[in-house]
Structure formats: structure tokens, C-alpha cells
Structure 1
Amino acid sequence: MDAEIRSDVVRGSAEIRQMDEKGDIATGEKLDACRTETVLVDQNGLFREGLKRLLAETAYYPDVSAASLDDVRFKLEANDGAILLILDAVNDHAGSCEQVRFLKEQNPSIRVVMLVERYDLKQMLAAFEAGAAACLMKSTSHEALVKVLDLVMLDETVFITTILAQLHEPTAFSAQGNLRALSARETAVLECLIEGASNKVIARMLDITEATVKVHVKAILRKLKAKNRTQAAIWASTHIVKTPQ
């Protein structure tokens, strides 16, 4: 990054954080008051670097980034003030929740945003019970992510509206669904809905037309007695056991 670009990116801050040659842990000097001390943990180096670039011109450029919490624990435990932790929870959600619970006990001021691949009601509840302030899918847009980080640092807890709806009436729908009523093709479509795929994407994945996808979605909603595809997907995410590929 040349001097001009560096100056634009960190306008008003002490200095740009430099990434080490492995792209793992990067630290910088003291930031000014407008910046939020941020730690990013994700085992995927490319994802870490991409997210750092996206956050470069925001108040949340990571002071430290690493592949695991163990690599940055010194930073988190040495800080007793407000700090933002963006944590990948895809591969070991239960373990991540335990680590978040421990960190929150050590420093209640830590604000944690957990990154997941899909919205699973049980996992969301576990994350919030552990002390996370928000759970977001890794496919979340840059703009939405920054808005959520803003809210989190205002000491808000951010629930996805569809999750809240399920919390308000947890049994009204869950007791009615019947996966056995679905055909093999409808189950395949439902698995795509769990991943948040659009009709167009589902059609391409299953090699069928969008019109056929719409027919299957309508049948799924009717058989599961779901109000919409999001409700069906959230319920099914805790009931479908996928066959290993």
C-alpha cells in the first residue's frame, strides 16, 4: 500500500496496521478516540484479509487478526476496556461459545460478533446465552456488517428478525412440521432454503427450472404448515440431518 493510499485509509488515526508475512497477526500503535479496538479471528486467511480490507475505512479495522483465539488471547485478556471481537464460529460453534463465555467472564466489556454460515435457531440461542452480542452469516453485506458493529458497540444486542419471530412463538410451528411428508426433491429444495439460496440458485444447483422450484417451495410450506420460506428454513435447520457427501 503506497503512502497516499495509506494516508487516505487511516485519515485521523495514528498509523496503518501492518500485516505480517503470514497474514496472521497484525498490530498497530495506539488509535485515536474515533476508532474501536477490534480483534478478528478466522481460520481462513483469505477471508481475514478480505474482511480487513472491507473494514479499512471504518472504525473497525482490526488491530489484531489471527487464525485462532489462542493466538490473540493475550490481547483480549490484557485489555479490561471495551473491545470488539469478530469471531468465526463455523467449524466449532459449541467450542466458540465456551470460549466466548470464558472471555465475557474475564472482561464483560468485550463485545462479540460471531460469524456463521447459516442461521440455526439452537446455535443462535447458544451464542447469545454465551454472551455474543450478534450472530451474522459470512455472506452478510459489508454495509449491514458495519451497521451491526455500530449497534453492538452502542451496547446493543442484535437479533435477526426471523430468529426473534421463532422465539416469540417457538411451538406454534415446530410441532406441526413433518419432514416425512416431503418428497426427496422437496427435501433437497428445503436443504437449499436452509443455506439461504434463491429460487434461481436452487434451480441451477438441482438442474431444474425456477418454475419447478416455486412449485416445490409452495408444497414445502403447505406440508410443513410454515408461513414463509424463512420460517421453514429455520425450523428445518434443526431437524434435517444431512447425509455426508
Structure 2
Amino acid sequence: MVAVIEPRVLFSQCLLAALRSLDRESIFRIYHSVADWQDAPDRSDAAIVLLCMPSGEGSDAALAAAEQGLTELQALEPPVMFAVMSDREEPERILKALESGARAYIPTSVSLEVAVQILHLVIVGGIFVPASSLVAMASFNGTKIVSEVEDTFSLSARQLSVAKALRKGMPNKLIAYELNMCESTVKVHVRNIMKKLKAKNRTEAALLSNRLFSEDK
């Protein structure tokens, strides 16, 4: 079960309907605060908590409540796996969320399909940070976290080339021709890429690599 923390009623109803329509296998439930989720009888069913953060342009009370939610999630014992969703992508905000224990920072600039894939990635042990933010985060004393993210999704130069081809939907035979390698070698690289990205198939690997690695690679 994915516990979604979203205090805004209309937003929560729309998000819940969209998530359920896209992912019919997972169970999504909305709670209006971390406290509401903690008091719920099905609290222990949550595989991950998704904390929706306001943009910062709303009321001070809403922002304070979201910050309090982040603090409450960080303090839980035993620890709970959680991710943050926000329409702000400033490095300091992302870094604060990660330092608080978030396993992913999902910007609302991604599609709903990508957001669902990120949640699945985190549930199986992955970490997600917007690729465009990694370099900037280093300047905010985020070296340790950046290193952890890079280690989690590290690919060799050859694997990066194959991942880029996967994003284009190229079959193994064409990838082998384009990169001047044996088709059997391509298959090995694809398997390793899927393993590192915790992807179930080629399509999921292509989707995840499209968000995790910049196009200039």
C-alpha cells in the first residue's frame, strides 16, 4: 500500500483517482497528515509514504504543516520508507528532504507514469533524485548524498551507451550494430542495466534511465 499525505482535499481526490487509474495493481490511500496516517488502523500496510509538499507560494500554515510532516516521518521508529513530491526543484529543498531520510524527491514536472515508476523503484530499494539537480546539489554540501545516488545507479561508459539506445527503443541487434559489439554482449549489458535500475523489463529500464541520466551521456 502507498500512503499519500496530501492535506488539500481537491488535490488529494484528483491525485488518488489518477494513481488508481494508472496503477491498478497497487493500493493507494490518501491521508491529510502524517498524524492521520499514524492513527489509521491500516498504517502498518504501507510499503511507502508519499509526502506531498506545497510549492511555498501557499499559506505559511500549509508550508509549516508539510515541514512538520517531514520531521515526523524522520523521527518514526522503526523508520518508514518515504518519498517527497513537490513542484519546487531547488537543490537545497531536495537536499533537506534527502537528509531527512527521503528515498526519492519527485518533482511534479515528471509525468504521472514516471512518478509511479519512481515509487516502485524506491520500494525495491532504489533512490531517485532529478538528474538535473545532482551537479547543483554538490555545491550545497550534498557530496555524500550525491555520491550515494551515483553509486546506486552507477553504469559503465558502455552501459550508458546501451541505456541511451534503450531510451530510443532500439532492439539489441541494432544496438550491437551501432555500438560495434556482439549482440550477446548487448544482452549482458541490458540485463546489468535492468538489475542496477531495479527494472522488471526493457520498457521500465528505458523509462527509468530517461529520468536518471542526462541526454548528453
Tell me the TM-score normalised to structure 1 length: 0.46
Is the aligned partner of 1:88 residue 2:58? no
Give the conservation status (yes or no) of the 8 Å contact 1:97–1:127.
Answer: no
Distance 1:145 1:114, change over 3 A: same
Which of 13, 16, 26 lines up with 1:52 in the alignment? 16
The amino acid across from 1:142 in the alignment is L
2:76 matched residue in structure 1 = 106
CA distance in 2, matches of 1:143, 1:55: 9
1:98-138 CA distance string (max 9 Å, x none): 53343344245522121212201111111001011111223
Distance 1:53 1:70, change over 3 A: same
Which of 143, 147, 158 lines up with 2:128 in the alignment? 158
Residue segments in structure 2 that go unaligned for 5+ positions in a row: 57-61, 142-217
1:42 matched residue in structure 2 = 6
Distance 1:115 1:78, change over 3 A: closer
Residue segments in structure 1 that go unaligned for 5+ positions in a row: 1-36, 172-245
Distance 1:131 1:94, change over 3 A: farther
Distance 1:132 1:67, change over 3 A: same
* 3-state secondary structure, aligned to 2:125: coil
Aligned length: 133
CA distance in 1, matches of 2:72, 2:9: 25
Which of 120, 123, 126 lines up with 2:93 in the alignment? 123
1:67 matched residue in structure 2 = 32
The amino acid across from 1:85 in the alignment is V
* 3-state secondary structure, aligned to 1:72: helix
Structure 1 vs Structure 2 CA RMSD: 2.8
How far 1:157 sits from its partner (Å)? 1.6
CA distance in 1, matches of 2:97, 2:76: 17
Tell me the TM-score normalised to structure 2 length: 0.52
The amino acid across from 1:144 in the alignment is V
Give the conservation status (yes or no) of the 8 Å contact 1:101–1:131.
Answer: no
CA distance in 1, matches of 2:63, 2:127: 19
Give the conservation status (yes or no) of the 8 Å contact 1:55–1:61.
Answer: no
CA distance in 1, matches of 2:124, 2:107: 21
Moved more, 117-126 or 90-99: 90-99
CA distance in 1, matches of 2:77, 2:26: 19
1 or 2 for the larger relative contact order (CA 8 Å, sep ≥6)? 2
CA distance in 2, matches of 1:38, 1:75: 13
Give the conservation status (yes or no) of the 8 Å contact 1:40–1:66.
Answer: yes
Give the conservation status (yes or no) of the 8 Å contact 2:89–2:107.
Answer: yes
Identity %: 20
Distance 1:41 1:143, change over 3 A: same
How far 1:46 sits from its partner (Å)? 2.2
* 3-state secondary structure, aligned to 2:81: strand
**Structure with greater proportional helix content:** 2
How far 1:50 sits from its partner (Å)? 1.9
